[in-house]
Structure 1
Amino acid sequence: MSEPTAPQVPAMSALRRQALRHHLMNEIERPARRPRRMLVLAPAAGVLAVAVAAGAIAQPWAPDSAPLIVTVEQGDRSGATLLLNRMAAAAADTPDPTSGEGEYVYIRSRGAFAELGDGPARLQPVHEREIWIPRNERGDGLLRQPFLNVPIIGVIPERETLTDVTPNAALVDLPSNPDALLEKLYRERDERGRGNSRDGAAFTAIGDILRESLVPPQTTVALYQAAAKIPGVEVVRGVTDAAGRRGVAVAHTERSQRKEWIFDEQTYEYLGERSYLVADTADGPAGTVLGTTAVLQRAVVSNLGQRPER
C-alpha cells in the first residue's frame, strides 16, 4: 500500500508547517474588528484559477473588484455514501501513480485565495504554483510561485526551499481500514484540542492528502471509504473547478463554509477544490467564494526543480 522506505511519521505534519496552510484561519479566533488578512490554502492547494458557477473562467482581477458569488446548490447527503464507495471501487482498479523512478513528487496547480477583513471577501489574482516534495526520505523540497506578500505569513518569494519536509511516502502511509483511518484523524484532532470539529478536521485532513500528494490506490480506497463515514458529507453536482472543468463535488459544511473536493464525474479523477460561504456572514453573502483550486499535473521526477513534460 505504501512505499517501503517511508519512516513512520504522522500524516500531514510537515506540509502543515510549510508556508501556506489551508485551515490556518480555522485555528484562530476572530477579533471583533479584524485586520485585512489572506485566507491561505495548504501547500496542498496548488494554484488556483477562478470559475463561476456556470463554468466560465474569470480573469485575474484587481483587489478592489467585486466579490465572486456562486449559487449555493442543495447538497445530497443520501447520495454521498453511494458516490464515495463507487469512487473507492474505481480507485482499486487504477495503476499505482507512484510507480517508476524518481526522488521527488512534482505537483503543478493554479488558484486564487480570498482576502478577509472588514467587508466582503475578495479573491486575489490567479497564480500558478509548483511544488516538489521528497518522495521517500525526509529532506528539502521546493516551492515556486509568483512573488506574494501574504499578510498573516509575510513575504513568500517566487522560489523557496522547504526544509525538513515529510516525504510523500509517509504522508500516504495510512491505515487501509477506513474505520482505523478515521479514528486516527479524529485522534489527531483531539490531540490538537482546537480548530474545527472532529468531523470537519477529518474532512480537511483527507482533502489535504488528496490535493498535494501521490496516493497509492489502496490508500485512496481507504480515504474515500473513511470520508463516506463522516457525518454531514454530501454530494453537490454541476461544480466547476479553477481550470473550468466541470465535475461532481464531495462536500462538508461547517461554520457557514462549505468545502468541496471536485472530481471528474465519469473517471472520478481528482480535479481540485472550492470553498465558499453558504450563509450571510461578516465576510460576505451566501455564495461568496473563499478559495478555488485546480491540480493540473502530478508526476515523479529525478531532481529537485526538474519539470516533467507537459
Structure 2
Amino acid sequence: MRELETLFERRPATEADLATARARFVDGAAKSRPRGWKRLGPFLAALATALVGMTVAVFLRPVSVGPPPPPEPPLLSGAEILRRAADVAEAQPLLKAKPGEYRYVRAAVAPLSTRGSASYTTTEVWTPADGKGPWLDRSTTERVETLSPILCGYEHPPSWPADLSYRIPKGTVPVYANQFLNVKIKIQVAAAYPLQTARLLRVAAEFPGLIVKRGVTDAAGRPGVSVLLDTVGYNTGDELIFDPHSYRFLGVRFVYPNESVQGDPMNPGKVIKKGDVLNGWALLSVGVAQALPAREDGIKRREAPKRRCPKF
C-alpha cells in the first residue's frame, strides 16, 4: 500500500514509468487475491482507470511552439499611412550637429541596370549642417564621388519654408502627379531631417487618388507597403515605401506604369512591362561627422563647377 501512496504523491512522468507501475500493482494484486480480493478488487479497478487517465495526460501534454507570429497590420488608406508615417518621422530627434560639421545619408540604390537582380549600389550624400560650404555625393560601391563647391537652399531642408503645402498647387491631374514626384524627390533630400520629412508626408496625404500596394520591397530588399498616386486614370510610377508595421519611411521606387511594352535600354533583347520596377532608393542610415571624408585611394573624385543657385 505504501507503493500506492507513492504513486499518487509522485506521478510517473512517462509512458514507460506508467507501464512499470501497472505491472507492479497487477502482480501484487494477483498474489493477494486469496485473502482480500473482494475488498481490493474495486480499488484496483479505480487505480487502473486513474493510470489510463494519466497515460492520456502524458500523450496530450501541450508542446511549446514558440511565440505566435505578429498580427497582420490593419488595412489603412494611403492618406492614413502617410499621416502615420509623418507622426513616426516627427517623433524622431534631429541628430545634433555643430556649425562646420556634416550630416550624411547612406542609401541603397537599385538603378535600371540592376533590374531583376538582388544587387544594389550604396551611395552617401554629405552636406554641411549649417548649409555653408561644399558637399559630397559619393558612390561607395562604384568608388566615384562628386564634390560640389556650394549647397543651394533647395538642397538644404532647414532653409525650406515652414509651410510646404503652398508649393503644391491645386489643379489638373498631371499637376498632382508632378507634385507627387516632387515630394518623392524632396523626401530623399530631407532624409536626415525628421521635421521636413514629416511635413512632406502630410502634404502628400492631402492628394486625391492615393493607392496602397502591399507586399512590395525596397531597394535594400526590405518588405514594405507603398503609396502611389492614381487620379482619373493618370498613373504615375512613383511610389513611397514604408515599413508595413511601424510605417517608418523606408524609401522610394519607380514602377513602369504604362500598358505598352518597350525595349529595355540597359538589357538589349529584353522588354519592360507594366509593373516592372525600374529604379529604387532605400534609406539605410544617417549620421554626423566633423568633416568630409578623406579621399581614399582608388576613388575617383570629380569637382563640379561653381553654379548659381536658383531662387527657392
User: Does 1:170 pair with 2:170?
Assistant: no
Q: Identity across aligned pairs (percent)?
A: 27
Secondary structure of the residue that 1:226 maps to in structure 2? helix
**How big is each residue's C-alpha offset from its partner over 1:165-213, in whole Å with a ceiling of 9 and x where there is no partner?**
2268832444444xxx2222449x99xxxxx932122212222222233
Match for residue 133 of structure 1 among 111, 127, 130: 127
| Separation (CA, whole Å) in 2 of partners of 1:293 and 1:220 | 15
- Dislocated runs of 4+, deviation >6 Å: none
| Separation (CA, whole Å) in 2 of partners of 1:204 and 1:302 | 33
Q: Which residue of 2 aligns with 1:303?
A: 291
Q: Alignment length, in residue pairs? A: 208
Q: Which residue of 1 aligns with 2:80?
A: 82
Q: Which residue of 2 aligns with 1:244?
A: 221
Counterpart residue identity of residue 80, structure 1: G
Secondary structure of the residue that 2:165 maps to in structure 1? helix
Give the helix-richer structure, 1 or 2.
Answer: 2
Greater relative contact order (Cα < 8 A, sep 6+): 1
| Separation (CA, whole Å) in 1 of partners of 2:138 and 2:198 | 31
Secondary structure of the residue that 2:203 maps to in structure 1? helix
Q: Which residue of 2 aligns with 1:12?
A: none
Secondary structure of the residue that 1:197 maps to in structure 2? helix
**How big is each residue's C-alpha offset from its partner over 1:113-142, in whole Å with a ceiling of 9 and x where there is no partner?**
226xxxxx9579732212212221333111
Q: Which residue of 2 aligns with 1:5?
A: none
Match for residue 266 of structure 1 among 230, 237, 245: 245
Secondary structure of the residue that 1:211 maps to in structure 2? helix
Quote the offset at 1:246 in angstroms: 0.9
Quote the offset at 1:86 in angstroms: 2.4
| Separation (CA, whole Å) in 1 of partners of 2:87 and 2:133 | 34
Quote the offset at 1:240 in angstroms: 0.7
| Separation (CA, whole Å) in 1 of partners of 2:153 and 2:129 | 5
Match for residue 200 of structure 1 among 161, 177, 201: 177
Q: Label 1:123 to 1:167 Cα distance change in 2 as closer, same or farther (>3 A).
A: farther
Secondary structure of the residue that 2:202 maps to in structure 1? helix
Q: Which residue of 2 aligns with 1:59?
A: none
Aligned residues of 2:229 and 2:235 also touching (Cα < 8 A): no
User: Does 1:161 pair with 2:147?
Assistant: yes
User: Does 1:228 pair with 2:205?
Assistant: yes
| Separation (CA, whole Å) in 2 of partners of 1:216 and 1:158 | 25
Aligned residues of 1:276 and 1:291 also touching (Cα < 8 A): yes
Match for residue 186 of structure 2 among 209, 233, 237: 209
| Separation (CA, whole Å) in 1 of partners of 2:155 and 2:96 | 12
Q: Label 1:105 to 1:167 Cα distance change in 2 as closer, same or farther (>3 A).
A: farther
Match for residue 279 of structure 2 among 269, 280, 291: 291
**How big is each residue's C-alpha offset from its partner over 1:235-258, in whole Å with a ceiling of 9 and x where there is no partner?**
222221111111221212586542
Aligned residues of 2:253 and 2:280 also touching (Cα < 8 A): yes
| Separation (CA, whole Å) in 2 of partners of 1:130 and 1:122 | 21
1:26-37 aligned within 5 A: none
| Separation (CA, whole Å) in 2 of partners of 1:136 and 1:214 | 16
Alignment TM-score, normalising by the size of structure 1: 0.57
Counterpart residue identity of residue 233, structure 1: L
Q: Which residue of 2 aligns with 1:113?
A: 111
| Separation (CA, whole Å) in 2 of partners of 1:95 and 1:205 | 25
